[in-house]
Structure 1
Amino acid sequence: MADLEEEIIIIEDSEAAENLHPTEEKVEESLDSSKKKKIIIFAALGLLLILIIILTIVLLSKSPQKVIPLDMDLLDEKLENQTEEKIEPSKLENMIAKANYLYTNGSKEKALSLYENIAHYSEAISEYNLGVAQLKNEQYALALKTFTRAIKNDEKRCVSAINAAVCSLHLKDQESFKYYIDLAYAYLPYEVNSPLYSYYYTLISYYNQDYINALNSLKNATSNEYETTQKNLAARINALYGNDYEAIDIIEKNNEHLDDFSLGLLYARIGDFALANNHFDEAIIKNIQPVKAQLALALISLKSGQLKRSASKIKNVTDMYPEEVYEHYPIKVKLKDSLFDTQKAQKLYRDKIIHSKSTIFQKIFTFSPYKVFNANKTISYIRKGNANIYIDNIQAAKEYLKTSSSSSNVNIGITRAIKKALNLQIREANLDLQELIKIQPKHSILHYNLALTYAQMGDNKKAHEHFLRSYYLDAKNYLSGVYAVMTSQLIHKESKKLKSILIDSITSEEASEEKELYKTLLYISENNYVSAIEWLDNDYKQRPLYLTLNTIIALKLNRLDIAKQATNKLTVLLPNDILPHLMYIDTHFSEYKPKEYANEVLNYLKKQDFNFNDLYHGPYITRYLYIQENLITGKLYFLREQLKKVLQTTDTNTHEIESALALASLYDKQFEESYTLYNHIIDDLQVRDSYTLFMGAVASTAAGHHENAIALLELSKLKDSDFFESRYALALLYLEVKNNAGAVIQLSRIEEDGFISQYFDFSINTNELLFKKQHPKE
């Protein structure tokens, strides 16, 4: 429970131990305490009477003698030779009691020294008690021989056999252990009348890994002896079977020996990280398992999103214990179970469509308008050029006409790129716009359109870069400024100053439809849906973007009637596109229970006549949400087959098709297939934005190629240093390969407080711990 080491229980035979330390546990049947006291008193009185008589006789028979000065050298010599003399059994019992007391209270060195002295007086002590002393002194081979003699002498055979089995465990002699634990079981019937019968039965069952019977005997104990040990065993077995709350209850009732470290682990297991933190802090103060406690605190902080705190603790414990730190809690990086479980995935999906800024913003970008060039400005350039020719300013005229010519080429190119984007060929449009920006790098509209394609492709960093550039080139291009604010939030960039400038500028504009649009988009970016509610009262033309805003705001404010109306109109405007129908599902099926929801979604999607161009070539959000719905409805296999057929018949521009197939394969648990596809997309198709690299790492991790995942995450981090998912995943993988320093660097760079990864998780690698236990270092 507290750790994964086998608990070793030494059974003692010492009444004196109990007198010295009231909480010391004992095994053998004892005399009634009142009777013992009488015996001791009478014995003492008799001894005193004999001493008085002897003293009287000596005094009467001898004449007075001179007092001889005390010879200190002689005294030292006698003390040195004292160990050669025989000691009475009662004195040995007291020595054992003292050694046991010292041992259990932390004075291990003094106790072991005393045990060594006890071993010299084996002739005056029972074989069993001598065996206990040797066992405490970690003389396992010697103790095993002593317990064997005790068994042969018919001395406490059952308990001697149990302790012999314990010695065998220490000696890693499995065959001997099995022999003695079986022997203890054979002698157990002779202890049926002993109060300790249930305890012996518990130990034998426990060491035989028969935990159910061990737990039953603990629940029906015949004795309260070894109370702390019995409680610890009960808690340990309950924890083994996942009865964490019962284990916690048992430990918390043991007020005299509250095990803060074990409680911390159990509270961590049930997800109560606050209480787990408290108990680990107490364990550290009490110096209980200091390395493990600090590591556990660091890992809990990691689980709960307190990443800077986790980084600090990992660094401290690694600096203090550079080798031991890697021995206790090796972690195993994995993907979250909720990614693949249909019910969990449905819950996350339905929550995400309402609360996820990324999902909300991606929908807005998908239905945002592209912009065309300003024809009047181009004509103005031409006129200025001709005018300058007439006044013989040839150089100035050439500059004007050159600008006009390049602007015309760029504007024609923009028109063609927009046509591709509107036909859902987003990547092709993006490539065209990238070429045009080289010709005209100071074209505000060009930067806006390029940014919009990046946003629809899911490359938020590039989108932010070009939205911001567009706004700086034309301060009246408010939509670029607003979208720069939105994308800054997705990539964790500060935008307070930009937002303040925008609000002041937009507020100074005259009332108009565009002004209301910009204000509403800013409200959404601030999560201020109460202020955004005014948008729902407008009577503007029913454009896709406006209907999208109606849906988003109404869902947030639980105005399902308005949300349903908006998505109804959106599906009429765009009947063959996937995303409008997914938004229809979001609004019309939002109140259904999980099973009913899945059935209704399945039946609804079957009736639609999609052309699937948006799935094969369009915005990223369409692919992601459609794959999620297929996961929820159990139709991923059929979607994958559909994508494979399309891929076989498509020669060019397969990036998005392969991306969709790779994502679908990942969620369908076809990890190796997903891993291969992402590698092809990254290596051969040269798609290397931070998100694609990250998803390649996700697939690599799922497929067990963790080294490849690390390489891809390093590239993803370089592409976007503020992509926290990549840094978090990289930190976990570094912890897994025992590179704590690398993990600390990544965790300390994640600025978001309370960051929780959507994809990556970790657990303690119990297989590695078991292997280490079975194959200890020599």
Structure 2
Amino acid sequence: MAAEGVEESIIIIEDSDAAYVKSLHTNDIIGESSSKNNKLLLIAAGVFILILIVLITSLILSKSSKKYDDVSMKYIENKLEDESKKPVEPTKIENMIAKANYLYSTGSKSEALSLFEKIALYSEAVSAYNLGVAQLKDEQYDVALKSFQKAIQNNEKRCVSAINAAVCSLHLKNNKNFRYYIDLAYAYLPAERQSPLYSYYYALINYYNENYLEALSALKNPTTAEYLKIQNNLGTKINALFDNDYDAIENMEQNQPIKNDFSLGLLYARVGDLTLAKKHLKNAIVKNIEPVKSQLALSFVNLKAGQVQDAAKEINNITDMFEEEAYKPYPIKVKLKESLFDIDKAQKRYREITLHDKLLTYQKIFYFSPYKIFNANKTISYIRKGNANIFIDNVNSAKDYLKKSYSSSNVNIGITKAIKKALSYKIREANSMLLELIKIQPKHSILHYNLALTFAQMGNMTDAHEHFLRSYHLDAKNYLSGVYAVMCSQIVHKENKKLLSIIKESLNNEEINENIDLYKTLLFISEDKILESADWLKNDYKQRPLYLALDIIIALKQNNLDTAKKSSQKLTILLPDEILPHLMNIDTSFSELSPKKYSNEVANYLKKQNFNFNDLYYGPYITRYLYIQQNLITGRLYFLRKQLKQVLESTTEQTHELTSSLALASLYDNAFEESYTLYNNLIDNLKVRDSYTLFLAAVASTAANHHENAIALLELSKMKDSNFLESRYALGLLYLEAKNNKGAVIQLSRVNKNNFNSEYFNFDIDVDKLIFEKQHQK
């Protein structure tokens, strides 16, 4: 997030920064004057003592008995009212200066200024320069400018007088005068080379001339310890301008107590320390520093921190209170996360999600899960009952039984054909066949299980959850359906406590065997009970693909690499032509390598394999996603896209998965417009409209800068799956960008997960837009 509060006041010549300029120069330069005046007054006091000695001597010699009377403050003031311009004794002037300063500090500004003017007429102890500083403090910029002009004419503090004259011109919005006096100050600067304040003047002049690097160099190599507060403030501004955020923070924190919590909060937000950012922004709100900006900034920090519902409440409140102002300070620019495309970041992210991401873990389990065949005994039972009823002349009842057996036989035949398609990686075709069969026999538990499994393998967890749950309700002994319903419910954020409790209780009442052991282990994985699931590694069951996959998943979570490697190697031997087993073998074999070596080893490993690629072209989503990720990491996405295009042009099979693969590969290869076009074809022509495909199409639309199209796609995705948090979050950000805070609040308030972290979407403050708007206003 841009440190807006700092950056706004970087360019001092803007109106909004005039107040800061005033404090930057007047408070401290007058300090310099006071310091030097003290030295002048000491010299004057010495001269006065000498004169006094001479006077006493002359009085003694003349035998005069006249006594010397002290002149009262009232007497001096009366003398100053006199038209004659007799010099006044330095000690009296010192008292007058003290009185003027006291009057000024206690708020009697007009009296103090009047007194300064009178003193200036009669003594050089208070100069035109000091008078100008006092007037500048009182915001009398026009008369202060005249005083500084007079000081320059009198060769009095010419460099610093010229700087302050430039400040007055700035307040008076006279850019021509401003440039003149800054150039004049630069011309007088060499005369200050021996002054301890040289670096300070040098920094100020270069700062106003927008030579920020020169100014920063002077601030980092000061010739004086005076005015540290001002120097730190300047250092903060310049460092923030050049994105030296940590240096800016250090400069700001050197000034204690910290007054500008708002700017400090923004700086911490920029460096990603969201905890300290929130702390300082909350302090700013309490202190009423930039109330609108502070509250908006806090809401955006909460968005970054994953506290989405808190952010939604804050955005809603500030929009209600300051509807027009709420859109001005921080225009949002929605973008995709860099970790999606940067090879090093993508590799780091890939390694993390393969271990910890539940969706990927479950999709691996679904990939290797068995399809179920029909219950032949039940079909035979229907036929027997039908024949028995014919024998007893109950024709109507017999017809019902025989119809059930006939439809059941047709469904069972259909299930068999669909399973063959699925095992040949034609998942979408199998899914279509099962959807037709469900219309014939909607209360077929096995049919619902198989249909759910195809949905899960296609990446459609919403429909998978629905049919796994239906399958379990139709047959409470179909535990695998129940366990998978629990897993899917976690992904689609559905309540599952009751279902989980029922399944656990039922399994505990079952006699332990291989299947019950499998179901319990799957539940342990779903509940992140790693220690309990470890018992699975001790079994001696037959080496089935699902069992080996569970070995790998559990062993990796325990950091038991030896067991994970052995199981993954066995899996690649069982399924040598399939991509996913080899990708899981990569996870176990190269997990400890450095990023560069990991990429090289993976590239070499994949080159040696002889995949048939049917699982990539037509099969489960998990294969497409992970294989594309590995090609991103190894820098071979271009070649993969070329391969997919060739197959797409020549195949006679369904092209849904091929198109989806190419669209996803193009997205990660930064071919955003191509990806956007492919996803539109997938949705409009091939009618693939599940919530996740619609979401990915919105991702491609955002990357290709078709943000309005992305909003429409996300609205459709949300309608398909109202619990899909990624769609809600992305839609909320895009509504913020479109200055529709109310619409954004509706979406963001539904992201009911703490520490939510979008895999795809991020946002920045559109600094370019802010600069453009400021220049336009100017």
TM-score (norm 1): 0.87
Q: Which of the residues 44, 60, 72 maps onto 1:48? A: 72
Q: Distance in 2 between matches of 1:726 and 1:584?
A: 32
The answer on whether the counterparts of 1:115 and 1:137 sit within 8 Å (CA) in structure 2 is: no
Task: Tell me the CA shift for residue 34 of structure 1.
Answer: 9.2
Q: What are the within-5 Å matches in structure 2 for residues 300-379 of structure 1?
A: 300-379=301-380
Q: CA deviation at 1:681?
A: 1.1
Q: Does 1:386 align with 2:398?
A: no
CA contact (8 A) 1:315 1:744 kept: yes
Deviation, 1:297, is: 1.5
Supply the AA of the counterpart residue of 2:497.
K
Counterpart residue identity of residue 531, structure 2: V
* Corresponding residue number in structure 1 for 2:773: 772
- 1:732-751 correspondence to structure 2 within 5 Å: 732-751=733-752
1:10 corresponds to which residue?
Answer: 22
Matched with 1:519 is 520
Q: Does 1:30 align with 2:54?
A: no
How many Å separate the matches in 2 of 1:598 and 1:46?
Answer: 92
Deviation at 1:348, TM superposition (A): 1.0
User: How far has the Cα of 1:146 moved from its partner?
Assistant: 6.7
Name the stretch that deviates more: 741-750 or 471-480.
741-750
CA contact 1:463–1:487 (8 Å) conserved in 2? yes
| Change in 2 beyond 3 A, CA 1:128/1:739 | farther
Q: Give matches, 1:278-677, under 5 Å.
A: 278-677=279-678
- Trace 1:218-233 onto structure 2 (pairs within 5 A): 218-233=219-234
CA distance change for structure 1 residues 89 and 713 in 2, over 3 Å: closer, same or farther? Answer: farther
State whether residues 41 and 94 of structure 2, in contact with CA within 8 Å, keep that contact through their aligned partners in structure 1.
Answer: no
Seen in structure 2, the aligned counterparts of structure 1 residues 539 and 237 have a Cα distance that, compared at 3 Å, is same
Letter paired with 1:623: R
Deviation for aligned residue 1:483: 0.2
* 2:755 alignment partner AA: G
SS of the residue corresponding to residue 31 of structure 1 reads helix
How has the CA–CA distance of structure 1 residues 24 and 420 changed in structure 2, closer, same or farther, with 3 Å as cutoff? farther
Contact 2:73 2:96 in 1 (8 A): no
2:278 aligned residue: 277
1:251, 1:258 within 8 Å by CA — same for their partners in 2? no
- What's the % identity of the aligned pairs? 62
SS in 2 for 1:772: helix
Greater mean alpha carbon deviation, residues 466-475 or residues 121-130: 121-130
Range 454-463 or range 161-170, more displaced: 161-170
Whole-angstrom CA distance in 2 between matches of 1:158 and 1:401: 109
* Letter aligned with residue 215 of structure 2: A
The alignment partner of 1:598 has SS state of helix
SS of match in other structure, 2:754: coil
Query: How many pairs align?
Result: 730
The CA deviation string for residues 475-511 of structure 1, in whole angstroms up to 9 with x for no partner, is 1111000000000011111111101110111121222
Partner of 1:79: none
1:558 aligned counterpart, secondary structure: coil
Q: CA deviation at 1:396?
A: 1.9
Seen in structure 2, the aligned counterparts of structure 1 residues 361 and 128 have a Cα distance that, compared at 3 Å, is same
Alpha-carbon RMSD: 3.3
Aligned partner of 2:626: which letter?
L
CA, structure 1 residues 11+449, in 2 after alignment: closer, same or farther (shift >3 Å)? closer
Report the equivalent of 1:702.
703
Query: Residue 451 of structure 1 contacts residue 467 of structure 1 at CA under 8 Å; is this kept in 2?
Result: yes
Structure 1 counterpart SS, 2:629: helix
Q: Which moved more, 1:741-750 or 1:541-550?
A: 741-750
Distance 2:529 2:22 in 1: 66
- Relative to the length of structure 2, the TM-score reads 0.87
| 1:27/1:225 contact within 8 Å kept | no
Task: Tell me the alpha carbon deviations over residues 146-187 of structure 1, each in whole angstroms, 9 at most, x when there is no partner.
Answer: 755664565543234323434555566655544432222112
Residue 247 of structure 1 aligns with which residue? Answer: 248
Query: C-alpha offsets along residues 328-347 of structure 1, whole Å, 9 cap, x if unaligned?
Result: 22221111111111111111
* Residue 50 to residue 621, structure 1, CA distance change in 2 (3 Å): closer
Q: C-alpha separation between the residues in 1 aligned to 2:320 and 2:138?
A: 33
Tell me the equivalent position of 1:210. 211
Once the two structures are TM-superposed, the CA of residue 190 in structure 1 deviates from its matched residue by 2.5
Moved more, 252-261 or 437-446: 252-261
How far apart are 1:394 and its partner, in Å? Answer: 2.5
CA deviations 1:717-737 (Å, max 9, x no partner) are 111111111111111111212
How far apart are 1:228 and its partner, in Å? 1.5
Q: 8 Å contact 2:333–2:765 — kept in the other structure?
A: yes
Aligned to 1:686: 687
What is the alpha-carbon distance in structure 2 between the residues aligned to residue 306 and residue 12 of structure 1? 38
State how far apart, in whole Å, the 2-side matches of 1:99 and 1:161 are. 24
After superposition, residues 94-173 of structure 1 pair within 5 angstroms as 151=152, 154-170=155-171
Q: Deviations over 1:334-386 (max 9, x none)?
A: 11111111111111111111111111100000010011111111111122122
**Which deviates more from structure 2 when the two are superposed, residues 168-177 or residues 736-745?**
168-177
Cα separation, 2, equivalents of 1:688 and 1:278? 44
Q: Distance in 2 between matches of 1:116 and 1:637?
A: 76
**In structure 2, distance between residues paired with 1:689 and 1:94:** 81
| 1:71 corresponding residue in structure 2 | none
2:183 is aligned with 1:182: yes
Deviates more, 1:128-137 or 1:236-245: 128-137
Inter-partner Cα distance in structure 2 for 1:416 and 1:118: 105
Residues 26, 226 of structure 1: 8 Å contact kept? no
Q: CA deviation at 1:199?
A: 1.5
Aligned equivalents of 2:464, 2:583: Cα separation in 1 = 24
- The one-letter code of the counterpart of 1:531 is E
